[in-house]
A = this chain, B = another copy of it.
Amino acid sequence: MFYHDNELQYEVTVEEPDPRFAKMLQQAIGGAEGEMRVALQYMFQAFAVPADKGEYRRLLMETATEELGHIEMLATAVAKNLEGASDAQREAAREDAVIAEMMNSGQPRQALSAGLHAMPVDSNGVPFTGNYIVASGNLAANMYANVMAESTGRTLAARLWEMTDDPGMKDMLSYLIARDTMHQNQWHAALETMEDHVPVPNSFPQEKENQDFNYEFMSTTKDERPNPDQRWTQGESVDGNGEFSYGRQPGGGEPDLDEVIEAMHNEIN
Contacts and interface: CB of A to CB of B under 8 A. Distances in A.
Given A3-B4, A258-B51, A210 B174 contact: yes
A162 B263 contact: yes
Interface residues of A, number: 192
Contacts of A68: 1-2, 68
Contacts of A69: 1-2, 220, 249
A112 B165 contact: no
A162 B111 CA distance: 11
Given A140-B151, A188-B238, A114 B180 contact: no
A38 interface: no
A197 B259 CA distance: 18
A50 B133 contact: no
A251 B126 CA distance: 31
Contacts of A206: 181
B179 A199 contact: no
Nearest to A195: B269
Most chain B CB neighbours (cut-off 10 Å) among A109, A164, A165, A261: A261
Interface string A32-57: 11001000100110011111100100
Given A159-B93, A184-B200, A255-B76, A114 B86 contact: no
A131 to B, nearest CB: 5
Nearest to A27: B112
B151 A189 contact: no
